[in-house]
Chains A and B, each alone.
Chain A
């Protein structure tokens, strides 16, 4: 198990050092600093073995988090724990930065004592932790409160406490998708996938039982066969704005927040859960079939002699004309020996950014089924470097108001038997946002 946990600033100074196991000595702190943080070459692996001691590290801005062990630990678990640790810290004091860590070091030690015992991760749900790690002491608690805390921390529903009350029961669903593309210069799709997340903000009283439904192909096909029409709530929750008329989508794989009953999903493919309070990520999913690619990038790069490049890039939007894409940014890489750039674009603004070795073309808004173009002349300094320019791919960023996977929320039902509100009394909001993930076209 984890033998120790260290947090360093970018200079390699220790900010937090907590040792859980006897086999980890003080010199481990220095070993990591010398061999990884101060190492000359680039980090070649997130796991480093120094003198039979293994170091796992992750970086958050310029903060290093390192877990140390001498045993054959579950490596995936250690990384998951380090991520969780960052989440917990962020939930308590915001950004994980040197200043915040120094300001909260007592709190961090208290948290580390709670969520990692002898190197075994324990309950690390911030909702539960915040009930008793408060930096206020726990004098004022009654016996009932105490046992409520412990039963929540160890209980089956560790992520929600009893007795939550709202005057207005409300929930917000965000379907956030990032569409990833790798396209060849000839316009052939080399790989494309959507990784999506359903993020929920729920303000519901009591311990509500929720059921979430979407246009999952497997469910729809099953329902179609059985003759069951499960259209409840479709009218108020359906929507989105994809141009495709398809009814259901094939989901390659999905993972769920720990509140979702996995065995039920496995057997019936229904998503049922008691939600945490506030904001959380309900599920993640991945699709690869029938993806709507919101933009097509058509590059044309011509080398004119050894000192000049001509670049022309056309982008085409491919969705309903009534919808607007926002925050469009096209990044056209330029060679390292670029000496000057002239750009002409029909729409938006384009600038050559020497520090980033790229021409950045920004367009605020663009409707569907439109086309725009940029052309640039790049002057190059003559070099005697034999190696040709690697031509990194042209990448793109954007945001569109629909789900490129075609996912639609069919319903989200809320049942709370003990309190007197029903599914109809809950105000529900659904929003679809499609963003670019790694959206690249080779040139």
Chain B
């Protein structure tokens, strides 16, 4: 029997003919006619006018014919709602059929008839089918609930179908369970907060049991659903992981990837010390490698996911770089992805092999691939310093091939190498210059000019008008640079270029830059030199890193389209689906530390801290014997100078945000009261104190000494009180501080124990130093460095805090924080939320990276802090809190 003939009817009056055939008395003829109709429908012809005639054929006991009619119905019911009603009876009748295959067929089809009027008639049959004795009917009915929900969500809820669906999770048949899970997952996506799936340990257990028994597709539905579950503790997480790991040996790559997703998510909850944690990490690598022996399309999906996994947990695949070596016959999309992962995995240990491979790739045919391979060599040089020399010589070899695009790409990457390792490889410039004439791409020409070789011929200069804008800009800068270095030789040139740029160019950017240079050069050549020849910011090792929050979100979507596009679902999905964002689970330990500072208040009260002071004689004992003079090797600053600084600083009082506190009450110190604050002004730390004499005798011979502390804070000068302090008199002093003293870790970290001596006695007190006085002015990290560092710091060092009831917008926030040397590096808007990425550096060189999430309309900000020394983050949070709340 060949059906292809149905495709070939092409006559005029075809519809009319078909109509006649559909009403033929012979069953066989009618069946033939319906086949022709379906064939016409497939190729896109409109056969909707035959609706009544086709529906007439529905009442038949021939299953094949019935299926064809149903197929027609699904396509055209929507355009002929009134006539579609005619079909209802047939569905209702079929749902009662003794044959389960027919019952299922009816329930499957009726869900696809998207006509409102019909759906109400279908509720009763569906209800019956959900409780059918045959599992085949039940599994079909489960999906039908999702179909109905798509048409009329309210009705599905009102009719209680969601409850019936939930009951099916406990069904004895694994396939029914799997379909119920799939349907519920889909429905719950449009109600993110409804907790429809009700994932509790009992249900999870049922799912895990069904996982062992259902079809490969069912396993995928169940694993995808499991990945949305948040286990209550690490033990539960581990036991789920143990039951999911066998899936890693499944032949279906989607089962494997979904299992990987569950494991990657739950790994977050397992403590690193645990043996199981490392066992699990080891188990993840072989199945990921095996995915690469699949069909190319699956390889592509796997590679896109591996790219994410390698960024999140590089340890999993760091030994496996060889499997990412490109095969000659790989499709281009597989080649490009493999190359990406190779760069990420390149390290000192494997760099020789990687370079040999990359050099090989640079001779292949596909231009994009070759370019990427050349770029990769440059990345290797920047990433693995030891290999830089070899990379440069490889690049030089490639330049010798004279293949135009290879040469150009090589020159662009050599520029980056120059930036990373200045004054090291300049000897090769001459070789580069030989290829000057063959450069026809703006990037390469710009790079060449950047490298510092200005084409000096007048002809080139005149072509300034002709070449691309990007080249013009770089050329302009390069010529100004050259002028600043060798003014005598190039004066004429620079004038010529500047007048060209400012007068003849019609590009506003170029003109502006020209004017700026011109004015800079004519008013203040020294400053011009500083500006134009300033240090270049460092170039970072990693490129194309995905931002950490996005990466975490994408890890939650392993295996899905989001992980292929490397975009969050809402970037490509319309409507209500996928709006709900997914997050990696957070280890419960860090939630505790995250919440407690909020309840405890931003600053621990001073009284509490005072109790930390050890009893006189043990820890502070040696203070007594110390010479209370100024530390040697510290330059003496006279109090006159101090005063001047103070005056200057006075205008910047916004920096002093902590109100003065009483550190030493008079009753404890024989009448001496000391109150004060810490502050940072113009890059200098101060302890501002008020000494008040509440006793009846005058006080003299003041001196001050600090105990060893966490940041090595010591006074730079002796206490500048030179006159006796008369009874009921106060004096204000500003004691400059520096951090070159001995370091000892204190608890709390910012505790400072102080001894003050006068003619009466020695007194001790302690105060908490607000951490912001240690925030140095050069705490702004480069964007790329930030990304790399954020990734580099292990996740367990990340702590989250809430700042409640704050009503500032993102710009005010960054402005306020900048006053305290907390710098905003980037601001990003993710679905209406503002994400601020910030960095700050402590005097002892510790970097702290922050991500501040501000949702419009929500006064509670979320602050994530990442630092190699996580113990400081709590104090940084306190700074954020007090800055933003005041």
Binding site for B on A (CB under 8 A): 1, 13-17, 19-23, 26, 29, 42-47, 49, 52, 54, 56, 58, 69-77, 79-83, 99, 102-106, 109-110, 113, 117-118, 120-125, 132, 135, 137-139, 141, 143, 146-147, 149-151, 153-156, 158, 182, 184, 190-191, 193, 195, 252-258, 261-263, 265-266, 281, 283-284, 286, 386-388, 390-393, 395, 438, 440, 442
Contact = CB atoms under 8 A, between A and B. Distances in A.
Given A15-B42, A388-B363, A256 B7 contact: no
Contact of A253 (B137, B179, B287): B287
Contacts of A15: 42
B252 interface: yes
B562 A72 contact: yes
Contact of A72 (B252, B293, B365, B557): B557
B43 A14 contact: yes
Contact of B100 (A49, A147, A252): A147
Interface in B106-136: 108, 111-112, 114, 134-136
Contacts of A149: 101, 136
A255 B249 contact: yes
Interface in B543-578: 557, 559-565, 569, 572-575, 577-578
Interface stretch (B61-69, B502-510, B768-776): B61-69
A22 B74 CA distance: 11
B561 A138 contact: no
A392 B361 CA distance: 10
Given A47-B564, A77-B220, A390-B364, A14 B44 contact: yes
Contacts of B143: 117-118, 120
Contact of A99 (B4, B114, B301): B4
Contact of B35 (A106, A123, A158): A106
B212 interface: yes
A182 B324 CA distance: 12
Contacts, number: 288
A283 B250 CA distance: 9
A193 B224 CA distance: 32
B298 A262 contact: no
B141 to A, nearest CB: 11
B71 A113 contact: yes
A251 to B, nearest CB: 9
B329 interface: yes
Contact of B246 (A120, A263, A438): A263
Interface size class of B (residues with CB under 8 A): 35 or more
B221 A120 contact: yes
Given A45-B333, A73-B561, 12 more contacts: A72-B573, A72-B577, A77-B559, A106-B35, A117-B143, A120-B182, A124-B217, A150-B137, A191-B323, A252-B286, A256-B250, A258-B251
Given A71-B573, A120-B182, A286 B560 contact: no
Interface string B253-273: 110111000000000000000
A137 B250 contact: no
A265 B298 CA distance: 25
B867 to A, nearest CB: 34
Interface string B173-203: 1111001001000100000000000000000
B329 A150 contact: no
Given A72-B577, A77-B220, A120-B143, A256 B249 contact: yes
A106 B403 contact: no
B92 to A, nearest CB: 20
Nearest to B577: A71
Given A113-B108, A266-B246, A74 B290 contact: no
B298 to A, nearest CB: 5
A130 to B, nearest CB: 14
Nearest to A30: B44
| Residues of A contacting B: mostly | mixed
Contacts of B174: 156
B327 interface: yes
Nearest to B100: A150
A4 to B, nearest CB: 12
Contact of B574 (A70, A117, A123, A139): A70
B247 A262 contact: yes
B146 interface: yes
B341 to A, nearest CB: 15
B560 A73 contact: yes
A252 B292 CA distance: 13
Nearest to A72: B569
Contacts of B1: 103
A19 to B, nearest CB: 8
B98 A71 contact: no
A440 B328 contact: yes
Contacts of B557: 72
A118 B147 contact: yes
B346 interface: no
Contacts of A155: 135, 173, 175
A158 B257 contact: no
B301 A265 contact: no
Given A52-B572, A76-B301, A154 B7 contact: no
